[in-house]
């Protein structure tokens, strides 16, 4: 069975600073995909960043980057230069090709960016 | 606009009623899903359909019945609603396949169901 764990239910950061959200996972698959989704108060689920397990290079999307440690099964999200609009719930998620597209989500981390 | 659209956005209903939530995607994706987000914000898959065929049914009570008339639509019908069914229900779509999986899902904006 695949699992995703986010051990930080809540975090806060000052505007313009950097914050890192943690995620660990477990899977027996050799090929899989990891994602971070953002859910602002509007409720919309927004894809922030994605990582393919067989790619060693960490994914980066503007101010968002990941630290993918495959051996440790860790997939943390770093947000640089935090903005008020980054305030949201962040979900780490995992899927694998033979799972029928099923996404396994972590419990979420609620991030507050303070002015 | 290319998107996953679901209706209604809000649904308030009494216990025992039957209700439906509709979902449509114009992304050309083959696979559609229903996810439930509970009061603690935890997201869990309920169903997935690939080109009108049921692929995943995650031990959901049989009061919940998905219907896919074509690969662009996946509706969710709920019979005999209970208080515990109150949640946000998300429709989503994706294009499975080794490479396309990496692009993740596109989600609808969710339907907040409140059973009173």
B102 falls in which pLDDT band (50, 70, 90)? low
What mean pLDDT do residues A49-58 have?
90
CA distance linking residue B59 with residue A37, whole number of Å: 25
A102 vs B contacts (CB less than 8 Å): 45, 48, 56
Distance between start and end Cα atoms, chain B: 35
Measured between alpha carbons, how far is A100 from B46 in angstroms, rounded to an integer?
Answer: 13
Assess B98–A contact: CB distance below 8 Å, yes or no: yes
In angstroms, rounded to a whole number, what is the distance separating the alpha carbons of residues B49 and B109? Answer: 19
A interface residues, B as partner, C-beta within 8 Å: 31, 33, 35, 37, 39, 42-45, 47, 50, 52, 89, 91, 93, 95-97, 100-103, 105, 107-108, 110
B27-85: per-residue pLDDT in tens?
Answer: 888 889 999 999 999 999 999 998 888 888 887 899 999 999 998 999 999 999 999 99
pLDDT digits (tens, 9 = 90+) for A6-28: 999 999 999 999 999 999 999 99
* DSSP label of A99: G
In the prediction, which pLDDT does B50 show?
Answer: 86
| C-alpha pair distances (Å), A45 with each of A17, A38, A69, B4, B106 | 24, 6, 25, 11, 8
Sign (positive or negative) of CA dihedral B30, A5, A37, B22:
positive
């Amino acid at each position: 069975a695949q699992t995703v764990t986010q051990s930080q239910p809540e975090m806060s950061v000052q505007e313009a600073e950097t914050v890192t959200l943690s995620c660990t996972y477990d899977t027996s698959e050799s090929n899989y995909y990891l994602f971070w989704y953002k859910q602002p108060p509007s409720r919309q689920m927004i894809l922030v960043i994605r990582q393919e397990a067989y790619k060693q290079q960490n994914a980066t999307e503007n101010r968002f980057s990941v630290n993918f440690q495959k051996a440790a099964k860790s997939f943390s999200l770093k947000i640089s230069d935090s903005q008020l609009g980054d305030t949201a719930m962040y979900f780490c998620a995992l899927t694998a090709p033979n799972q029928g597209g099923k996404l396994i989500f972590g419990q979420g981390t609620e991030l507050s960016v303070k002015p | 606009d290319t998107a996953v659209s679901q209706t209604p956005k809000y649904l308030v209903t009494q216990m025992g009623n039957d209700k439906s939530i509709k979902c449509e995607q114009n992304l050309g994706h083959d696979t559609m899903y229903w996810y439930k987000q509970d009061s603690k914000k935890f997201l869990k898959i309920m169903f997935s359909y690939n080109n009108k065929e049921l692929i995943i049914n995650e031990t959901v009570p049989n009061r919940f019945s998905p219907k896919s008339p074509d690969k662009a639509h996946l509706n969710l019908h709920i019979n005999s609603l209970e208080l515990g069914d109150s949640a946000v229900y998300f429709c989503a779509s994706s294009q499975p396949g080794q490479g396309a999986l990496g692009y993740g899902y596109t989600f609808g904006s969710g339907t907040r169901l409140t059973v009173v």
